[in-house]
Amino acid sequence: MKYGGKALINGVKFQSDDVKVISVRKNGEIKTTHQIKAKEEEVDDFDIDKYLQKVPIVRGMWFFIRTFLDTWKSFISLFVFGFLFLFVMSKGSWSIGNFSAAEIEIAVIIFIILYLMIFKLTPLGKYHAAEHMAANCFNKNEELTLENVKSQSRISEACHLNLVIFISLISLIVWLIPYSTQIDGIVVLFVVLSLAYELYIIRNKHVKKVLTPIYYIGYGLQYLLFTARPAAEHLETAIRSLKKMAALQESIDKETAAKKSASVTFHPAK
């Protein structure tokens, strides 16, 4: 099952291809809501989203565009470190529109400080850890109980912070290339984000082994800055969300499989 999660200020969201489930804790109680994507009949119409997700390099930029359209908050969290490296490491030679590199650098630094304060001063960091721990338990095919989830690591390979690390490192490499600062900033941005995404989604075991040191940078930042030790209330909220999402998606998958099976027509041999 392909799915992803996101920590909220007071809860956790898990989303699959067909289901979105949000569990929030308010006044000591967990409230869970869900949304099921409308199913359309299969037709031969061109699906731009599915097509672009399969095109190397292009799918990276498309991922960021889709993320922005889905929720600008996630978009900002992904870009915050990437922008820092793109503009600070370029020694102020980049600009976007009427904004100078110096102005962008200051804005990004201020935003990073505020963003880190949110993780440390609100329950967001605890829900982020709970999201990772519930997902790690689920991915190991263990039962989603409080005790099982408690024993899981609060760092995750799938965390988008690892993507940010790839963005940052590729930005640094680009800066080290002679005359790279003379290239238009938008072009560099496209190349950096696209290449970073390709590295992020690589599943080849040998390549991932080479990338292990880079992942450890992301793991360290996750543990120290972007997650905090969750309490039972945070874990229970994440478990509720993931359980509901998994159950609904499983039901949809069974229903879809049954419909496909029923639509098959068998012609006996003559």
Task: Give the per-residue pLDDT at 87.
Answer: 58
| The pLDDT of residue 1 | 82
| Type of residue at 130 | A
Q: What pLDDT is recorded for position 79?
A: 61
Q: What single letter denotes the amino acid at residue 42? A: E
Which residues of the chain are modeled with pLDDT < 50?
Answer: 40-44, 46, 266, 270
Structure tokens at 126: 């605890």
Answering whether pTM is above 0.85, one says: no
Residues 106 and 196: beta-carbon distance below 8 Å: no
Q: What is the pLDDT of residue 44?
A: 45
pLDDT of residue 231: 96
**Separation between Cα atoms, residue 196 and residue 170, nearest integer Å:** 7
